[in-house]
Amino acid sequence: MSLIVKYQGSPNEEDKILEIETSNIFEIVGVEEVIEVKGEKIEVKEGITPTLVGIAIGTIRGILVAKMTSTLELENIFVYHRDMIC
């Protein structure tokens, strides 16, 4: 799963303030219970995708906070909970 976050001052690409990309590889024990392959189609059982997306978002939030604490005051960083997204 790849996640790209961009912060821009305006819709203009040149006004980009920050861009960070992460790539997450998840090892799922008992993957057969969660993912079913039907020919060329992959069916994912309900609940696993939001969990993995939540982990990816949490990872990038942690990276941003760790990298930005020395350059910005923490109260200026908006950190959203995964339930607030969507």
How far is it, in rounded angstroms, from Cα 21 to Cα 74?
21
**Cα angle value 81/83/86 (rounded, 5°):** 110
Read off the pLDDT of residues 23-79 as tens digits, 9 standing for 90 and up.
888 888 888 888 888 889 888 887 788 888 888 888 888 888 787 776 655 555 555
How far is it, in rounded angstroms, from Cα 79 to Cα 84?
10
Task: Indicate the domain borders of the chain.
Answer: 2-84
- Which residue type does 38 have? K
Name the pLDDT band for 80 (thresholds 50, 70, 90). low
Reported pTM: 0.60
pLDDT of residue 86: 46
